[in-house]
Chain A
């Protein structure tokens, strides 16, 4: 309608250069019908934002969940073969195989006797590392000084019920220990006494026989760490903790599948709604279409005009939607995982291409439907 109201003089002046006329038509179409353009743009922005959020989360959430699963503790264990012990540099070799992607904790074990002749398992370990790997250990106070021990809940009842210092003997060698705190896990650790590895080795002369490793990353990453370990520590038997590995695989797999189904669902809905809104918008402008045709515009010009308009709308919508989607994904990451979701700018071209494609389909589909109708019919209002 707006084209009809323009004076012939203005049309001629603007028509002196075709590209500027084309741009002006695009611009005026957006300005004159602010309401309709804004609705279409809103749909576009929502669609792009939802798609960006979902794609970003889908990639990042798996990494986030993997770190949650690492809290289950060791997924790989190296045990010295035939009850022997590991070489002194084994821990160093294990760290090399991990290359910073995980924690390795050494353990040494011995059976000692208490003053009243009861047997108890004593373990030597690195408290800082254990604390990092086994976050489920419930400990009221960690040992800080030498000759301080961490007592399992059940062990503490029999060796030091009132928190007094106690003696242990191993092959005739005695040691006096000060209880620092109580450890509770609900498993075998409850019956043990934990010392620092230095105290343990100087008392018993028994070196570490086990290294427990929490290797992070995907199943393939863990597999490659295991192969490196088997190659570098030849006296140790490297095995995966099946309980941990299989639990992780099944839960992660199901969660990923759910996320994927939900993402596809939501993105498809957003795309269809954008399509519906834009198609309504273009249909509604069939008068513009008819007038252009009546004034002698070629079929290709009209198609190009609507396509350019749709592409511009798609691009603007994608840019705004991408920014909003990154924000929403970051907010979800922070409020649920207490860690921000890294914005993936690699998704930008995908979101752009998707938005423009949807917009183009929405614009060109109605045009090809309208092509068969005579301009006069539309202008008469039928």
Chain B
């Protein structure tokens, strides 16, 4: 009988049920999409912030002072210490390897370059462009195209192997020498093709950027690397991040080591590469943390506001739906139904409505979140299936809360008034 009452109520009052159901569906849909966006926004914006380039730098431990003014290096190339290129793939064997977006080794040298008949001394920068590297069974591609996304090339990017003999020319140097992509120049009497003109807004505009192997040949030191820029996804720094790992208890040390702070990733880089010193580039790393926590906080607060608004909207819709049924209440009571059974009938209906609306809303919200992720961040924004029971539970609770006062009022109503239609 009870089941039939509920069933018939849904069958006969399609319009009202639909209105309340739409409200619940919309509320749950928006809530699901917002939760998905808010939980994933940190990761997504973190990746966008990597546009600022590398946030960690690895240098040789026993290096002499840099002599660099406005990006021009005055240090003789023979001076100072080097890292070994063969150690670099180990970066992808670290604990936080999946947070490493990319790395590029740098080796500045200078060489005699013969262009269009004239000869002059030019600074060269050896690096990876997009080099395929293997560590164990895993292969990956890394280089300045990951770590320096603001570098723009007119023409094409060179290949990383030295026998392709391709180079990039900085845009100011190219303008001074009237170079075009496709022309040839001689570095140490070897012919090289200009693959493209590089524009960075930095000192590289006055340099030649060449494959690392070529710079090593010019320097005469195989495997030499001056410094490595590492771009990593990190967690905003807090007081715990700044603790000295040596002063931590073993349990605390594990927690510190297993958090993706810039500090702990730098520490692991130092472990991975022998005789190295790794450090965060504070301009990038520090501000990244601030911007990230601001955007995350904003989304969290907006999610709260959205959840509250959805809850109130669902409550209002439920109150309306039940208020309209006071005739039925009057009739049931006149026929001798107890208050408890009337109330439980309404609660059962509300629960059913909440579950149906919740399911549809969750599906819709997931689609919506996916759409937002695709259109804004060009990547998937997935909704965890774990969220489904939580969202359904919240939907039922909110629906009950919204119906409770209306149900109480309906039950308390004198059947005579209800049936007469007064209110």
User: Which A residues have a C-beta under 8 Å from some C-beta of B?
Assistant: 1, 33, 35-36, 39-40, 42-43, 46-47, 49-50, 53-54, 57, 61, 64-65, 68-69, 71-73, 79, 109, 111, 118-121, 134-138, 154-155, 158, 184-188, 190-191, 209-210, 239-244, 246-247, 250-251, 254-255, 257-259, 261-262, 265-266, 269-270, 272-274, 276-277, 279-281, 284, 287, 328, 332, 335-337, 381
- Tell me if A71 and B323 are in contact (CB < 8 A): no
- Tell me if B201 and A239 are in contact (CB < 8 A): yes
Known A-B contacts A42-B316, A155-B65; A262 and B302 likewise in contact (beta carbons under 8 Å): yes
Q: Within the assembled complex, what's the spacing in Å between the Cα atoms of A33 and B27?
A: 27
Q: Identify the interface centre among A71, A190, A255, A381: most chain B CB within 10 Å of its CB.
A: A255
Q: Identify the interface centre among B19, B45, B317, B320: most chain A CB within 10 Å of its CB.
A: B320
**7 A-B pairs whose Cβ atoms sit less than 8 Å apart in the complex:** A36-B323, A68-B291, A109-B70, A121-B65, A154-B65, A185-B283, A328-B305
What are the nearest 8 A-B pairs in CB distance? A242-B201, A273-B313, A247-B52, A191-B66, A280-B320, A136-B286, A336-B297, A43-B316
- Tell me if A72 and B52 are in contact (CB < 8 A): yes
Nearest chain B residue, comparing its CB with the CB of A237: B172
Q: Within the assembled complex, what's the spacing in Å between the Cα atoms of A265 and B309?
A: 12
Tell me the chain B residues, 176-195 only, with Cβ under 8 Å from chain A: none
Chain A min CB distance to B14 (Å): 13
Known A-B contacts A119-B67, A261-B372, A262-B306; A246 and B150 likewise in contact (beta carbons under 8 Å): yes
The yes or no answer to B86 lying at the interface (CB within 8 A) is no
- Please report whether the interface of chain A is mostly helix, strand, loop or mixed according to DSSP: helix
Nearest chain B residue, comparing its CB with the CB of A187: B281
- Tell me if B301 and A266 are in contact (CB < 8 A): no
Count of CB-CB pairs between chains A and B under 8 Å: 233
The yes or no answer to B146 lying at the interface (CB within 8 A) is no
Give the contacting residue for B23; candidates A47, A138, A187, A276; CB below 8 A.
Answer: A276
Q: Within the assembled complex, what's the spacing in Å between the Cα atoms of A90 and B3?
A: 85
Q: Within the assembled complex, what's the spacing in Å between the Cα atoms of A72 and B150?
A: 16
- Tell me if A109 and B69 are in contact (CB < 8 A): yes
- Tell me if B294 and A336 are in contact (CB < 8 A): yes
Chain B min CB distance to A114 (Å): 9
Quick check: which of B30-38, B215-223, B344-352 contacts chain A, the rest being far away?
B30-38
Tell me which residues across on chain B come within 8 A of A255, comparing CB atoms. 45, 295
The yes or no answer to B99 lying at the interface (CB within 8 A) is no
Chain B min CB distance to A250 (Å): 5
Chain B min CB distance to A135 (Å): 8
